[in-house]
Amino acid sequence: MARKLKLRIWRGDADNGGLQDVVVDANEGEVVLDVIHRVQATQMGDLAVRWNCKAGKCGSCSMEINGKPRLACMTQVAAYGDDETITVTPLRAFPVIKDLVTDVSFNYKKAMEIPAYEHPTELKPGEARMAQIDVERSQEFRKCIECFLCQDTCHVIRDHEENKKSFAGPRFFIRIAELDMHPLDRLRNRKRTAQEEHGLGMCNITKCCTEVCPEHIRITDNAIIPMKERVVDNKYDPIRWLGSKIRKREGME
Partner 1 sequence: MANLERYKYDVVVIGAGGAGLRAAVEAREAGLKVAIICKSLFGKAHTVMAEGGAAASMGNVNSGDNWMVHFRDTMRGGKFLNHYRMAELHAKESPDRIWELETWGALFDRTKEGKISQRNFGGHEFPRLAHVGDRTGLELIRTMQQKIVALQQKDGRDYGDMESHIKVFAELTITEIIKENGKVAGVYGYWRENGEEVLFEAPAVIIATGGVGKTFKITSNSWEGTGDGHALALKAGANLVDMEFLQFHPTGMVWPPSVRGILVTESVRGEGGILTNNLGERFMFKYIPDVFKDKYADNEAEADRWYIDQDNNRRPPELLPRDEVARAINSEVKAGRGSEHGGVFLDVSKRISAEIIKKRLPSMWHQFYELAGVDITKEAMEVGPTCHYVMGGVEVEPDTAAAVGVPGLFAAGEVAGGMHGSNRLGGNSLSDLLVFGRRAGMGASEYVKKSGANPVSESSIKAAAERIEAPFSRSGGENSYSLHAELQEVTHNLVGIIRTGEELKNAIEKIAGIRKRSANVSVSGGRKFNPGFHLAFDLDNMLLVAESTAKSAIKREESRGGHTRDDFPGMNSKWRQVNHISSFDGNKVNVREQALPAIPKELFDLFDVHELEKYMTTEEIAKGGSK
CB of 205 to partner 1, least distance (A): 26
**Residue 14 binding result from ligand SF4, ligand FES, partner 1, none, given CB thresholds of 5 to 8 Å by partner type:** none
Distance of CA 63 to the CA centre of its chain: 12
Closest by alpha carbon to 101, among 87, 109, 89? 89
| Direct distance between the N- and C-terminal alpha carbons of the chain, in angstroms, rounded to an integer | 60
Q: Which of these segments, 131-139, 192-200, 202-210, 234-242, binds partner 1 (CB under 8 A)?
A: 131-139
Report d(CA 5, CA 26) in Å as an integer.
Answer: 6
Report d(CA 245, CA 188) in Å as an integer.
Answer: 8
Q: Which of these segments, 97-105, 156-164, 196-204, 225-233, binds partner 1 (CB under 8 A)?
A: 97-105
Q: Which is nearer to partner 1, 86 or 114 (CB)?
A: 114
Q: Which of these segments, 101-109, 164-172, 194-202, 228-236, binds partner 1 (CB under 8 A)?
A: 101-109
| φ, ψ (nearest 5 deg) of residue 188 | -90, 170
81: left (phi over 0), alpha (psi -120 to 50) or beta: beta
Binding mask 27-66 for partner 1 (x = CB under 8 A): xxxxx--x-----xx---xxxxxxxxxxxxxxxx------
| φ, ψ (nearest 5 deg) of residue 160 | -135, 85
By CB under 6 A, name the binding residues for ligand FES.
51-54, 56-61, 71, 73
Binding site residues, ligand SF4, CB under 6 A: 59, 144-150, 154, 156, 170-171, 174, 203-209, 212-215, 217, 219-220, 224
